Structure 1
Amino acid sequence: LFFSFSFFVPFFLLAYPFVLHINCKTFPFQNKVSLKPTAQPVSTCSFDLLSPEELLVFDSLRDVILWPETPSLKSNFSLNDTSDPRQSSFTILPRTGRGNWRVGDQLHVSIRIRDFHGRPKKSGGDVLLARLHNSTFHAGVAGHVVDHRNGSYSAFFSLLWEGRAQVEVIHPSEAVTVLQKLTEEQPDRIYFNSLFQSGSVSETTICNVCLTGTQQNFCKYTDLRTGEPWFCFKPHKLDCDARISHAKGGFRQNLQATEEKLFQCGVNMKVSIPALGPENIDVLPNPKDGKGMTVKARPSGYYYKGAWQALDGTRVHQFNSSTISQCLKGKAVHIYGDSTVRQWYEYLTNSLPDLKEFDLLTSKQSGPLMALDYVNKILVTFRSHGPPIRFASSPVSQLHYVANELDSVIGGTNTVVVIGVWSHFSTFPVEVYIRRLLNIRKAVVRLLSRAPGTTVVIRTANPKEMTLYESLTNSDWFSLQRDKILREIFRKTNVRLVDAWEMILAHHLPHKLHPESDIVKNMIDVLLSFVCPVADF
């Protein structure tokens, strides 16, 4: 068994441009930006206009993402008192009832976190990701982690194949405290720009869902149909209706000097945990008359021989370019969201030689994009979700909210809708994300009500590679919280989930925001198995 700690946490940002070379990744940092304070500051991050019904939903979802209390950090705290992966350890507990491990059993791993002095931690809040894998069979499965809130954790795994297994844990430090503080105090650390233009006069101002200033200094662009808020600072010479484009502006944040110590690659970020005892187990076949144990780990699926096997009753077929065309013949596939589902659009257009893209003279990042196979009557489209979106410059006329787009979909048995919305919401209060998903959920319900034969598929969040920038803006802890929210909001709707979180966590390839082609193929296989459950071609 091999445990690996990976600490996905914020990092101190210097006030001048530089490129940081570390064994995690190389990332060029931007200048730190400071805004001039405004008189009588008013935050636009309030949600006072929520209905009583929405407030109840918000409260219930807060319970879903309730995180164990993490230690407060004094200004002069010592790194030696924080979690140290090298001083921590894991132990494989004996099989219940003793005897040999068999397929269908549950593997229980006990994890003990210690600080740099080697003292056991007395509180929880560390973020653990676990997987069990077998390189010989190209097999892998995600584990279920339980925080006992006393410095100890349990990881549970379903043993789903024969042979030798390994376990890997990915673990960010307890600097969840800092991540929480960043969201509360600096929700606008990712900011956006809009260009205002009229004739030869142009101005650029900062925009965001969260702005601080006087109300008379804001241009308000709240969507009339969904109520989604968006604001820009008013230009000095032009009117608010002169806004023509949207773009990511940059990144800013401030950490205390002592907080920088929490974010050292090779010290408390992406560091392996040693095993206490054996690192491997042998798993024997389950006797034909035997019964597997009752397990606490209930993964959505697992890899075997490199192919994803679902455990929700879905039979996952293996598709090639020919069978993809046969499955999608006569169908329209509409994809909405961020770049993680745009990757699916790109996979389909690259895999199907007869699926030709039309150049709509739009941004390749935000779209809209369209491809058509005229012979097989296959239409595939992509459009990004509305702001916040961290793409290059796009005309504001092309930035549409997913909920509004869904209301224009006719739907039916020959329509597939794919939604993937999560990555660009990490730095904002969870209320921003909850509001967005509630609006999308309402639109999905309306679509399925008028066209119940429509296939609606949602891609979940996923773990990713961690740069220092990513740990500040898109940490796996942020993604994990939003993933829980997404699953809960759509839990009682007639949609299908592609569990990207487990499909990336369980695979032997490195975690990436945009996973490698082997993983994407498995995701597309799951998607198409929802569309064509009986693959008779």
Structure 2
Amino acid sequence: MVSGYKASVTRRTFLSLIIAAIFLMSFFCYRYRFQNSLQKILHTCIVPPKEEEAASKTELQVKVDAMYEKLEKLIPKVNFTNFNTTTSGRRSTVSLATPQETYCIGEDLVVQVDTFDHLGNRKTYGGDFIRPRLFSGDLGAAVTGVIKDFNNGSYQVHFPLYWAGKVHVHILLFHPSEGVAALWRARHSSLGVLGFVGKFEQFGKETVANCGFELKENREICEYKDALDEEAFYCYKAPGFPCESLRDMMGYERLKSYLTTAEKEMFQRPNVAVEIPPTFQAVTVTRCGDVTEAPKPKCQPGLGSPFPSGYYYKKIWNPTYCNMTSYKTGDDFMRCLQGKKLYLIGDSTLRQFMMHFTEGIKIAKYFRYHGSGWLDWHKALEAINLEKDLYISYKRHGFPLEHPTFYYFKEDLYTSRQIDRCAGGKDTIIIVSLGHHFRHFPVKVFIKRAFNIRRAVERLFIRSPDTKVIIKTENTRDIYCPVEMQGDFHGYTQYLVLREVFQGINVGFIDAWDMTVASANVVVHPQAYVFESIMSLAFSFACS
């Protein structure tokens, strides 16, 4: 009996131990699951997964951000300490990478650029804004070059050789890398260095209010939003005036700089666009053997645009990828434009086209406009030639527009919306340009506008695939214009955006930046042979 009792007790004790062990294992298991679940819940609430962040953005926002990040990678990560340690154009040097007596057409002339600071110390990083050019003045010939940055203070510039003769290398240090970094930071330190005043009108009464891409005062505002393009600007609501009564707009300089006092020395006149002295004289280029140029197609939309996209010879632009037709006389243009509708949408560099047609070669007459020259340059214009069945329209690209007096604002639709309203067709030509009026604002404003124009062109091609669309990049302008508002570095970043955005679409692409760098243009409205070449390329695309 005793042994049986002991056995029973032993069994109960063993069973209790097993139950306790199972309980403890279950407890730890569930505790781990609970902690893991709690951790996931807290992580989701406090730090949303990156996938969800990306999913909250629209497709357009994702594209804009990606383009911005691509540009930002090109900006040097340097800090300004003092002027003397920045790149000096006068102390830097340009030399031949492979010196020889003569060079051959079809080869590249490669030059080495070594940079030094104002104290004579060798620079150890890159990122300088350099503008290269190869030219023969007596031949009216010029071409730009491709820059390779070794990120150690040295660069190589590759110039393709297209003509025989004595050629000269001309390389400008436009801004040092420290200046590039400062300009990029300043441009994105606010929502623009240009402000706007809107004029509201109601039953003969007027009032004004500040407007812009962002308004910071805690007041009632009017939102003017384009939902399709995801673009908006705002005005403070004028008391007693509905938002719909906005009629006129005026731009003004905010008179606020986002550069430090010390940084501004880099942008004073003697320090902008300084020529880097070459260590050699003119280079001789000859025709070596039987050099035959590969056949090229006629210039037509959809060809894309390499870089360099062409060169001047005898002051005529020669695209490297297509054969351009020369348009000079009224008869030349009328053979292209008779029976056509031409829509010019952009800034004053396209207003220049309208002036050429109406006041220069006089193939059309203004309709309901009696001015001339740059008077009222901001106005929308129409011109007609009834005999030749030609209609020409010029309209601005929409907000923003830099203009120091009030102008009628209601007809300023975004370029994309103007394209959406166009029926298109084989007898319709649309030329678009934008850039100069966007230099005052963060580059994302320009990027979004460029993508929206492309989307509108894609919609146009669905309903009217035979419409001719030409995109003209902005050109270089005055060297000594205010760098934060109108400087060419801002223009260059926008130029890179347009090159990227309009790849792989059936448009004609006028690389006006390349054409004006090659010609050393320093005015906002190119003149003489440069303007003639821009016009010839535009209408080679339009009338192919």
TM-score, normalised relative to structure 2: 0.82
1:142-179 superposed Cα distances (whole Å, 9 cap, x missing partner): 11112222211111110000001112123222311221
Write the letter of the residue equivalent to 1:193.
V
Write the letter of the residue equivalent to 2:143.
V
Partners of 2:357 and 2:363 within 8 A in 1: no
Partners of 1:386 and 1:400 within 8 A in 2: yes
Aligned to 1:244: 247
The root-mean-square deviation of aligned C-alpha atoms, in Å, is 2.4
Write the letter of the residue equivalent to 1:405.
Q
| 1:450 aligned onto 2:470 | no
Partners of 1:332 and 1:378 within 8 A in 2: yes
Question: Which of 510, 513, 516 lines up with 1:504 in the alignment?
Answer: 516
Aligned to 2:332: 323
Aligned to 1:179: 183
| 1:415 aligned onto 2:419 | no
Deviation at 1:286, TM superposition (A): 2.8
- Provide the rounded CA distance (Å) in 2 between the counterparts of 1:159 and 1:190: 43
Query: Pairwise mapping of residues 63-102 of structure 1 onto structure 2 (< 5 A)?
Result: 63-65=69-71, 66-73=73-80, 77-94=81-98, 100-102=102-104
| 1:435 aligned onto 2:457 | no
Give the helix-richer structure, 1 or 2: 2
Partners of 1:206 and 1:249 within 8 A in 2: no
Deviation at 1:207, TM superposition (A): 1.1
Question: Gapped runs of 5+ residues in structure 2?
Answer: 1-52, 295-305
Question: Which of 354, 357, 365 lines up with 1:348 in the alignment?
Answer: 357
- Provide the rounded CA distance (Å) in 2 between the counterparts of 1:339 and 1:513: 9
Partners of 1:133 and 1:141 within 8 A in 2: yes
TM-score, normalised relative to structure 1: 0.83
1:485-520 superposed Cα distances (whole Å, 9 cap, x missing partner): 111111011101111011111115x32211113211
Give the secondary-structure state (helix, strand or coil) at the position aligned to 1:453. coil
| 1:459 aligned onto 2:461 | no
Aligned to 2:301: none
Give the secondary-structure state (helix, strand or coil) at the position aligned to 1:398. coil
1:401-435 superposed Cα distances (whole Å, 9 cap, x missing partner): 11111111111111110000111111222221121
Write the letter of the residue equivalent to 1:248.
G
- Provide the rounded CA distance (Å) in 2 between the counterparts of 1:106 and 1:384: 41
Query: Pairwise mapping of residues 308-387 of structure 1 onto structure 2 (< 5 A)?
Result: 308-359=317-368, 364-387=376-399
- Provide the rounded CA distance (Å) in 2 between the counterparts of 1:388 and 1:49: 30
Give the secondary-structure state (helix, strand or coil) at the position aligned to 1:340. helix
Aligned to 1:55: 61
Query: Pairwise mapping of residues 473-488 of structure 1 onto structure 2 (< 5 A)?
Result: 473-488=485-500
- Provide the rounded CA distance (Å) in 1 between the counterparts of 2:273 and 2:363: 43
Runs (4 or more) in structure 1 with deviation over 6 Å come to 47-50, 289-292
Aligned to 2:206: 202
Write the letter of the residue equivalent to 1:374.
L
Question: Gapped runs of 5+ residues in structure 1?
Answer: 1-46
Give the secondary-structure state (helix, strand or coil) at the position aligned to 1:153. strand
Identity over aligned pairs, percent: 26
Partners of 2:471 and 2:508 within 8 A in 1: yes
Write the letter of the residue equivalent to 2:529.
D
- Provide the rounded CA distance (Å) in 2 between the counterparts of 1:468 and 1:309: 30
- Provide the rounded CA distance (Å) in 1 between the counterparts of 2:432 and 2:422: 13
Write the letter of the residue equivalent to 1:231.
Y
Partners of 2:76 and 2:180 within 8 A in 1: no
Give the number of aligned pairs.
Answer: 473
Write the letter of the residue equivalent to 1:409.
C
Deviation at 1:331, TM superposition (A): 0.7
CA 1:205–1:462 in 2, change beyond 3 Å: closer, same or farther?
Answer: same
Considering only CA atoms, is the larger Rg found in Structure 1 or Structure 2?
2
Give the secondary-structure state (helix, strand or coil) at the position aligned to 2:188. helix
Question: Which of 108, 128, 131 lines up with 1:129 in the alignment?
Answer: 131
Give the secondary-structure state (helix, strand or coil) at the position aligned to 2:226. coil
Deviation at 1:339, TM superposition (A): 1.1
| 1:253 aligned onto 2:264 | no
CA 1:263–1:244 in 2, change beyond 3 Å: closer, same or farther?
Answer: same
